[in-house]
Amino acid sequence: MDRNARIYVAGHRGLVGSAIVRKLTAEGYGNLLLRTSGELDLRDQAAVAAFFAAEQPDYVFLAAAKVGGIVANNTYPAEFIYDNLMIEANVIHSSYRTGVSKLLFLGSTCIYPKMASQPIREEYLLTGPLEPTNEAYAIAKIAGISLCRSYNRQYGTRFIAAMPTNLYGPNDNFDLEKSHVLPALIRKFHEAKIAGAPTVTVWGTGAPLREFIHVDDVADAALYLMRHHEGNDIVNIGSGEEISIRDLALLVKIVVGFEGELVFDASKPDGTPRKLSDVSRLHSLGWRHRIGLEDGVRETYEWFVGQGFPAETM
């Protein structure tokens, strides 16, 4: 990617988008095209077409999406499928129409079958039923993969797709109802410590296993794939390491310094029992993650505390 290339980072204020902007800026890319959802609603086909015609990006990092944790996905399936289908269809189609040189689409490891054998290889896609709590979002993301592959086949575009596992880091969503598990636990343990509360409630049984990767690693992988990966093969972006939700909660408890007890709320869904991605394709392309989970959680907690309170602003 030429340092003067016109690079559009869709979703630049989000967890992944902001990390990609940090990395591009640090590496001297000064021609970034950035629009908030208020400035450019990517569900609006005409507005997206006008933006692409006017700005003519050379590269597109598609990190804009309707994103949320297990309860958000389970509660708002129509929003998750509609927003994500519209965003990806509009951005990918306009990228084709205006001759974007290369686009990276971000899906998620939740696209794989609920009971896929572990670790999950990219070829397990569409080999079994999906996890019901996030099926709408997963189908939208699978459609995004097909958009990339179909445009590549019919129009000769260079639209690549990567599937990150659960990610976390600075600038995450810390809303207690809509966020993912790691930011929710960081906030819950911190608020309980400040308040001197006796317990922290963890959703589900604590038994499910999840894989986590720091968002700065994901941004690094995104640039690496934009530079080095071609073709229709999707690529998992993960650490290849998993941890139970119970052990994750105990890790956050120690990092935050909370002295109380854990309470498990089994009325909340566990979701898929395991979701460990096979990262051998990513490794064979020459990239590995660098940030370990404990270091990453400590760094994220320090960032979180630095943001200040009151909590309702998070």
Q: Kindly state the tokens that stand for 271.
A: 């979701």
Residue 208 found at the interface with ligand F7E (CB under 6 A):
yes
How far apart, in whole angstroms, are the C-alpha atoms of residue 275 and residue 290? Answer: 20
Which residue stretches of 204-258 are H helix? 215-228, 245-256
Residue 204 interacting with ligand F7E (CB under 6 A): yes
Task: Say if residue 14 carries a ligand binding annotation.
Answer: yes
And the tokens for 169? 């880091």
Ligand-binding annotation for 15, yes or no, is yes
- The binding site for ligand NDP (CB under 6 A) comprises 11, 13-17, 36-37, 41-43, 63-67, 83, 87, 106, 108, 164, 166-167, 173, 180
The residue to which tokens 């970034």 are assigned:
32
> Measured between alpha carbons, how far is 70 from 265 in angstroms, rounded to an integer?
14
Which residue in the shown chain puts its C-beta closest to ligand F7E? Answer: 69
Cα separation, 69 vs 269, in Å, equals 11
Question: Is 186 near ligand F7E (CB under 6 A)?
Answer: no
Answer yes or no whether residue 108 interacts with ligand F7E by CB under 6 A. Answer: yes
Q: Does 137 bind ligand F7E (CB under 6 A)?
A: yes
Question: Considering the complex, what minimum distance in angstroms separates the CB of residue 144 from ligand F7E?
Answer: 13
**Positive or negative CA dihedral for 50, 61, 306, 188?**
positive
70 binds ligand F7E per the rule CB under 6 A: yes
Backbone φ and ψ for 271, nearest 5 degrees, come out as 75, -155
Catalytic one among 96, 137, 151, 301? Answer: 137
Structure-block tokens of residue 188: 């819950």
- Omega cis (within 30) before 77: no
Q: Which helix (H) or strand (E) holds 167?
A: strand 166-168
Q: Please, what is the minimum distance in Å from the beta carbon of residue 195 to ligand NDP?
A: 27
Short-list 134, 97, 96, CA closest to 275: 134
Contact of residue 296 among ligand NDP, ligand F7E, none (CB under 5-8 Å per partner type): none
The one-letter amino acid code at 231 reads G
State the residue number with the nearest CB to ligand NDP.
Answer: 14
Is 214 annotated to bind ligand? Answer: no
Q: Which structure tokens are listed for 194?
A: 């400040």
Residue 208 partner contact from ligand F7E, ligand NDP, none using kind-dependent CB cut-offs of 5 to 8 Å? ligand F7E
Partner whose footprint covers residue 202, from ligand NDP, ligand F7E, none (CB < 5 to 8 Å by kind): ligand F7E
Distance in angstroms (rounded) separating the CA atoms of residues 121 and 131: 17
How is residue 36 written in tokens?
């908030």
Does the annotation mark 29 as catalytic? no
Choice between 136 and 192, CB closer to ligand NDP: 136
- Where along the sequence are the contacts to ligand F7E (CB under 6 A)? 68-70, 73, 108, 110, 134, 137, 166, 179-181, 184-185, 202-204, 208, 210, 245, 268-271
Q: What are the catalytic residues?
A: 137
Q: Which residues line the annotated binding site?
A: 11-17, 106-109, 141, 164-167, 180, 188, 203, 210, 270
Q: Which residues line the annotated binding site for NADP(+)?
A: 11-17, 106-109, 141, 164-167, 180
